[in-house]
Amino acid sequence: MAQKVTKIGVLTSGGDSPGMNAAIRAVVRTGIYHGLEVFGIMRGYQGMIEDDIFRMEGRSVANIIQRGGTILKTARCKEFFEPEGRKKAYENLKRRGIDGLVIIGGDGSFRGAVKFSNEFDIPCIGLAGTIDKDINGTDFTIGFDTAVNTAVEAIDKIRDTMDAHDRIFIIEVMGRDAGYIALHSGIATGAENILVPERKTNMDDIITSLLEKERRKKLVNLIVVAEGDEFGGATEVEKVLKKNLPNAEIRVCILGHIQRGGSPSCIDRLIASRMGYHAVESLMEGRHNVFVGILNNKMHYIPLETAVKNKGRISEEWMKIVKILAS
Ligand code: ADP
């Protein structure tokens, strides 16, 4: 029988994503509703190691659902990779009587949680907070929808000037290992080409079609590139194109960190609220070392171990759709 939890800690770790605050709010308020003591842990695993931990009340999370970033701050913590670091973290939690953890972060944070929970007797529940949507076993991750919408808004604006000048635009979006932001924002803005890390790009095809457009004096072309594509991002793609189309007007725009910030979309607030609520319910029901996912609109509890990168999941069909719709 799992022991009943009485004091839980919540932290945000790794890359921040819009909607993390909504998730923290849901965890804190659901915990308090159930009569638990809830503790905020600052700067992810770093705060666990440094005992930067404070008691949270319902009002500690007032007026944050609409804010991007994370009130608990986030960090990348080298010490947590080492057994001594994790032991220090455990001792701090133990001393405070914290007997359950909610970890909001990406697959790296989940890997840390797996190690920690294999070593110590504190159940961990993960919430997938990542703009990249690169966690297996859930249709949604907190922050993806907002990031994609930010990218779409920016690309729409760039398209206006691209169109006015008959230019080739190469726009780089985030996604070191996963091309979902590129795929979704590219399709939604009518990009002619979308380059993602999961699939090989036939550059000869792209060049042939651009040369053809050049002949017709219709050289307007939008290329959306994930930062981790095989060429190494937009600037590298530009070099290849420049070599083959020396007279073309090519512009590069790297959207960068604007994709991480900003007020979370309605969808991200909803899923964060729902996942946060279920994270606490899960701890109360004695679940441990799973993350909360949503599949076909139902909650699922997936072992943290399986939350690995979703490489190779962008199907041939998606790329066919891109090609047909942009032709
Ligand atoms: P994300 O959670 O956004 O994928 P990272 O990959 O940077 O971000 O991971 C966040 C933190 O999780 C790391 O800084 C580290 O403290 C912890 N972590 C990641 N991988 C491991 C691991 N294999 N062992 C222990 N801790 C890890």
Measured by CA distance, the residue closest to atom 12 of ligand 1 is: 109
Instruction: Indicate if 175 and 28 belong to the same structural domain.
Output: no
Backbone angles phi, psi at 19, to 5 degrees: 115, -10
Indicate if the pLDDT at residue 314 is higher than 60. Answer: yes
Range of the domain at 199: 146-260
Q: Stretch 222-226: mean pLDDT, rounded? A: 97
Q: Stretch 116-130: mean pLDDT, rounded? A: 96
Indicate if the pLDDT at residue 312 is higher than 80. Answer: no
Least confident of 63-77, 125-139, 152-166, 313-327: 313-327
Kindly list the catalytic residues. Answer: 132
Mean pLDDT of the chain: 94
Instruction: Indicate if 99 and 180 belong to the same structural domain.
Output: no
pLDDT in the model for residue 327:
79
Instruction: Indicate if 81 and 121 belong to the same structural domain.
Output: yes
CA of 242 to the centre of ligand 1 (A): 38
Q: What is the pTM of this model?
A: 0.95
| Inside any domain, residue 91 | yes
Q: How many CB atoms lie within 10 A of CB 153?
A: 13
Instruction: Indicate if 12 and 129 belong to the same structural domain.
Output: yes
Structure-token pair, residue 129: 């907070």
DSSP letters along 291-306, please? EEEEETTEEEEEEGGG
Closest listed residue to residue 87, CA positions, set 63, 45, 116, 107: 116
Q: Please report, for the domain that includes residue 301, its CATH number.
A: 3.40.50.450
CA of 130 to the centre of ligand 1 (A): 13
Higher-confidence residue: 166 or 83? Answer: 83
Give pLDDT tens digits for 263-302. Answer: 999 999 999 999 999 999 999 999 999 999 999 999 999 9
Burial of 88 (0-12, 13-18, 19+ CB in 10 A): middle
pLDDT in the model for residue 217:
86
Structure-token pair, residue 135: 């966690």
Q: Is the Cβ atom of 229 under 6 angstroms away from ligand 1?
A: no
Instruction: Indicate if 299 and 220 belong to the same structural domain.
Output: no
